Amino acid sequence: MPVTTIQIDKKTLKVLQKLKEAHGMKSYEEAIHLLLRKSMKPQKSMFGYLGKQSMKQILRGLRDEGERI
């Protein structure tokens, strides 16, 4: 497989190093592939996260009495 060189700043390199070490990876390519896989996963829905509260219950008390017009 052909090899390519890319330029990244030191901050990005440090993040890749930490990711690589945390997951016991042997190369930066593995770390980049992990990031790519995670970014391409479909996001989980937040449906039902607040339980069975009505919107009125959720919104009640979000503003102080003094802020109301």
**All structural domains of the chain with their residue ranges:** 8-41
Give the 3-state DSSP-derived string for the chain, with helices as H, strands as E and coil as C: CCCCCCCCCHHHHHHHHHHHHHCCCCCHHHHHHHHHHHHHCCCCCCCCCCCCCCHHHHHCCCCCHHHCC
Contacts of 8 (CB under 8 A, 6+ apart): 16
User: Tokens 């989980």 label which residue?
Assistant: 44
Instruction: Note if the pTM is more than 0.75.
Output: no
Q: Is 3's pLDDT higher than 90?
A: no
**What are the pLDDT digits (tens) for 8-50?**
999 999 999 999 999 999 999 999 999 999 888 777 777 777 7
